[in-house]
Amino acid sequence: MSDEQNQISEDDWAAAMNEQAVAEAAPQAQPANIFEQLANSAPKAAPPGDYDLILDIPVALTVELGRTKISIRNLLQLAHGSVVELDGLAGEPMDVLVNGTLIAQGEVVVVNDKFGIRLTDIITPQERMRKLNR
């Protein structure tokens, strides 16, 4: 091939620029309505009693014996055997929280040398919603 054949002429550039201008001036094709199709084909909501989809989701369960506030000075003085006074009373029901939300109250039990909690009062979903609205 000769150098003349390898070089692009000004006419070729002009032709390419003209093609680009024509392509940009042409009306653009409308995008496909894929979102409408997905919305129309979305699965129906599961019936209220169908919990199979969420049964394996882990949640944090906390049993709270009580709370207290202490100064940093007192916190730094804590040692093995120190006693921290809590606001909960002995024999008082303990709060059971799931992901920080109160769901029940219960009492401490010991089973095979391990602590557990026996639920004595379960907060209904309606009561939980009422507490959130306050």
Mean pLDDT of the chain, nearest integer: 78
Top CATH class, 61-132: mainly beta
For the chain, report the end-to-end CA distance as a whole number of angstroms.
85
- Check: CB of residue 89 under 8 Å from CB of residue 68: no
pLDDT tens, residue by residue, 54-72: 888 999 999 888 889 999 9
pLDDT higher than threshold 80 for residue 99: yes
- Tell me the H-state helices in the chain: 3-6, 10-25, 34-40, 72-76, 125-132
Kindly tell me the number of DSSP H helices and DSSP E strands found in the chain: 5, 4
Q: Which residue has the higher pLDDT, 95 or 37?
A: 95
pLDDT higher than threshold 90 for residue 76: yes
pLDDT higher than threshold 80 for residue 73: yes
Sort 96 into a burial class: Cβ within 10 Å, 0-12 / 13-18 / 19+. buried
Compute the distance between CA of residue 66 and CA of residue 87 in angstroms, rounded to an integer: 5
Compute the distance between CA of residue 93 and CA of residue 118 in angstroms, rounded to an integer: 10
pLDDT higher than threshold 60 for residue 38: no
- Please tell me the predicted confidence (pLDDT) of residue 42: 54
Q: Which residue has the higher pLDDT, 116 or 35?
A: 116
- Please tell me the predicted confidence (pLDDT) of residue 2: 52
State the greatest distance between any 2 C-alpha atoms of the chain, in Å, as a whole number: 101
pLDDT (mean) for 98-116 = 88
